[in-house]
Chain A
Amino acid sequence: MNPGPTIRVQAQDFDLQAEIDALAKGRRDIGAVVTFTGLCRDEQGSLTALELEHYPGMAEAEMRRIADLAIERFSLMGLAAIHRFGKIRPGENIVLVIAAAPHRQAAFDGASFMMDYLKTSAPFWKKEHLADGSSGDWVAAKDADDRAREKWRT
């Protein structure tokens, strides 16, 4: 049974346990739940916040497209992806992915696939706010993220 993914783009924080419960509570067929939480780092004290910008409508649509691919490819029993926008401070949550499957490998792979594609295809951008009060640069895309996605093209 695939209920379809849970996709949300929101300013407010999320509650990890509540989201796991929403996906898996009461189910007797799920054997593995893998969660990934991405947080804001302070980059050795130089960064006071990240400003997350997104393309409303397309961000949700692209996350849903990737999630549908992950559900199909890894036969997931549930998948949730929640991405925040706005100003996020070090230690705060940015993104959550939860993958549920009968066995662990599909859940690990499903969560990893979702994140690798989300980072390179979902329309979000990060701008740095620096400790000296200045507005810093836009975070540059990393080749390593492209390579992480490419490894799934087999």
Chain B
Amino acid sequence: MVKLVYFAWVRERIGKPEEEMELPDDVKTVRDLLVYLKTLGDEYEAALQYPEVIRVAVNQEHVEHHEAIKGAREIGIFPPMTGG
């Protein structure tokens, strides 16, 4: 089981701040994960319509889309950051 946490408009479009799920074995990279999540329903499709803009953190550290998610306990999924 991995915990997924969502922020900003990704959270609003998916409709929940976090959830736990079992990922299929063939979901190996961040890109695989985003493609998989889009199949889970319209709300995921709306949130991840343009996956290239989505930022992802594994265990609270930024990762690129080609990187593996093996060993992830928590995966954060969010838009580009706008703090400061």
Residues of B within 8 A of A129 (CB): none
Interface size on B, residues (CB 8 A): 16
Interface digits, A23-59 against B, CB 8 Å rule (1 contact, 0 not)? 0000000000000001000000000000011110111
Chain B min CB distance to A39 (Å): 11
Interface contact A118-B83, CB-CB below 8 Å: yes
Cβ-neighbour of B84 out of A53, A95, A140 (below 8 A): A95
Interface contact B9-A138, CB-CB below 8 Å: yes
Interface contact A125-B84, CB-CB below 8 Å: no
Chain A min CB distance to B7 (Å): 6
Chain A, interface residues (CB within 8 Å), range: 20 to 34
Chain B min CB distance to A114 (Å): 10
Interface contact A55-B7, CB-CB below 8 Å: yes
Interface contact A123-B81, CB-CB below 8 Å: yes
Task: Closest A residue to B6 by CB, please name it.
Answer: A55
Residues of A within 8 A of B79 (CB): 125, 138, 141
Residues of A participating in the B interface, judged by any CB pair closer than 8 Å:
38, 52-55, 57-59, 61-62, 83, 94-95, 115, 118-127, 138-141, 145
- A-B complex: 3 closest residue pairs judged by Cβ atoms: A124-B83, A141-B80, A125-B8
